[in-house]
Amino acid sequence: MTTTSDKTALLTKLLRERILVLDGAMGTMIQSRKLGEAEYRGPAACGLHEHAGDLKGDNDLLALTQPEVIRAIHDEFLAAGADIIETNTFNATRIAQADYRLGNRVREINLAAARIARERADAWTAKTPDKPRFVAGALGPTNRTATISPDVNDPAFRNVSYDELVVAYGEATAALVDGGVDLLLVETVFDTLNAKAALFAIDAYFDEHGVRLPLIVSGTITDASGRTLSGQTTEAFWNSVRHARPLAVGLNCALGAALMRPYIEEIARVADTFVSCYPNAGNRLRRGAGDHRAADPRLRAERLRQHRRGLLRYHTGAHPRHRGCREGRAAASSANDCLNRVRNRNPCPARCAWPASSR
């Protein structure tokens, strides 16, 4: 087991000083490698050559079968300027891995992914000790919902229970912490009941083992109605998870930056903690062009700058070499420069003016 230290104080200090940058999407980076079934099964030592059913597409499994691929992706995002990298474990719960009949390998997957990310974060921190890198243990929403029936003809039916979610999240949490993550990220919350099961499992683990790690909770507004899939507004979502005392709360995926902006404003208004934001990347068109306004990181940085706190992420779906990542770094740098000007009572450019209502 890797020794885990509480990085809450250090992360809080850094977040008060500047906007921190999360890495980008692991999935699209893996897709760009164009791996086949053989690569997903890995060498014979992984014990998957005779596994029943296809494994291609199980990206979390690559922490076991292709660790060098995951290691290289982390390095690319760290080289691009990320302060925090996520473990490759978005679907690494017993519930999600059941699709690949790999529920029995969940602890191995989470443990390996956490150790890979820990290794790369430490390596980059060693290069520049004045810029510490952190590892966030990613806990995705699973592929089931405890609130909504998957059968339109039977509204009372559920294909997963709260207790089953608690067990699954508890198993993943234990492995991630044992692997050495600095914080936990409950992300892409479309069903708050699923998230509450994750938060309960995390808190139970903390109580049982006498440790406490920083926590980020990130919800998903699914459309212009301004609600999660399970029907909550941004404010209602915050009120449902605030008991967990997260280091940061925010939104991710589903919407681009321009459409997400009012909901980020709302969560920044009601939450008494730091704010995180990582919209989707817009529509990637031929020859690498895309709907850059939909994902313009300057919009995100502007909103976080106005509230003087938060985490900014490269686009969901962006490559470290994409324009979005370059602009994301520049936007975060610009926002941090403005923050320093305000602290030092220096004039700030008009484009970076602080609104009277900002905190």
Per-residue pLDDT of 59-80, as tens digits, reads 999 999 999 999 999 999 999 9
For residue 300, pLDDT beyond 90: no
39-48, 149-158, 257-266, 286-295: range with lowest mean pLDDT = 286-295
For residue 333, pLDDT beyond 90: no
271: confidence class by pLDDT, cuts 50, 70, 90: very high
In whole angstroms, give the CA distance from residue 19 to residue 9.
16
CB 161 within 8 A of CB 130: no
For residue 118, pLDDT beyond 80: yes
35: confidence class by pLDDT, cuts 50, 70, 90: very high
Which position has the higher pLDDT, 78 or 306?
Answer: 78
Across residues 23-47, what is the average pLDDT? 94
Mean pLDDT of the chain: 84
Q: Tokens 């899939």 belong to which residue?
A: 229
For residue 266, pLDDT beyond 50: yes
Question: What pLDDT, on a 0 to 100 scale, did the predictor assign at position 254?
Answer: 76
In whole angstroms, give the CA distance from residue 285 to residue 313.
21
Which residue, 59, 155, 152, 46, is CA-closest to 100?
59
Give the other-Cβ count within 10 Å of 134's Cβ.
Answer: 22
46: confidence class by pLDDT, cuts 50, 70, 90: very high
**Strand pairing of 134-139 and 20-22?**
unpaired
Of 158-172, 287-301, 344-358, where does the model show the most confidence?
158-172
Tell which phi-psi region holds residue 245, choosing left (phi > 0), alpha (psi between -120 and 50) or beta: left
In whole angstroms, give the CA distance from residue 268 to residue 277.
10
329: confidence class by pLDDT, cuts 50, 70, 90: low
CB 45 within 8 A of CB 67: no
54-58, 240-244, 341-345: range with lowest mean pLDDT = 341-345
Q: Where are the beta strands (DSSP E) in the chain?
A: 20-22, 84-86, 134-139, 183-189, 215-219, 248-252, 274-278, 311-313
CB 195 within 8 A of CB 260: no
pTM: 0.83
5-14, 34-43, 238-247, 313-322: range with lowest mean pLDDT = 313-322
Which residue, 265, 299, 262, 307, is CA-closest to 282?
299
Looking at residue 316, the DSSP 8-state letter turns out to be B
DSSP letter for each residue of 177-222: HHTT-SEEEEEEES-HHHHHHHHHHHHHHHHHHT----EEEEE---
Question: Is 8-352 a CATH 3.90.1300.10 domain?
Answer: no
CB 130 within 8 A of CB 87: no
Q: Is 54 exposed, middle or buried (0-12, 13-18, 19+ CB in 10 A)?
A: exposed
Question: What pLDDT, on a 0 to 100 scale, did the predictor assign at position 137?
Answer: 98
159-168, 249-258, 338-347: range with lowest mean pLDDT = 338-347
Which position has the higher pLDDT, 322 or 150?
Answer: 150
CB crowding 55-67: b at 16 or more within 10 Å, else e:
beebbbbbbbbbb
Question: What pLDDT, on a 0 to 100 scale, did the predictor assign at position 295?
Answer: 44
pLDDT tens-place string over residues 212-253? 999 999 999 988 889 999 999 999 999 999 999 999 999 988
pLDDT tens-place string over residues 195-208? 999 999 999 999 99
Domains of the chain, residue spans: 8-352
Alpha-carbon Rg for the chain, nearest whole angstrom, is 20
Question: What pLDDT, on a 0 to 100 scale, did the predictor assign at position 305?
Answer: 53
Amino acid identity at 210:
G
For residue 276, pLDDT beyond 50: yes
List, in order, residues 6 or more apart from 335 with CB less than 8 Å away: 19, 301, 302, 304, 305, 312, 352
Question: What pLDDT, on a 0 to 100 scale, did the predictor assign at position 5?
Answer: 66
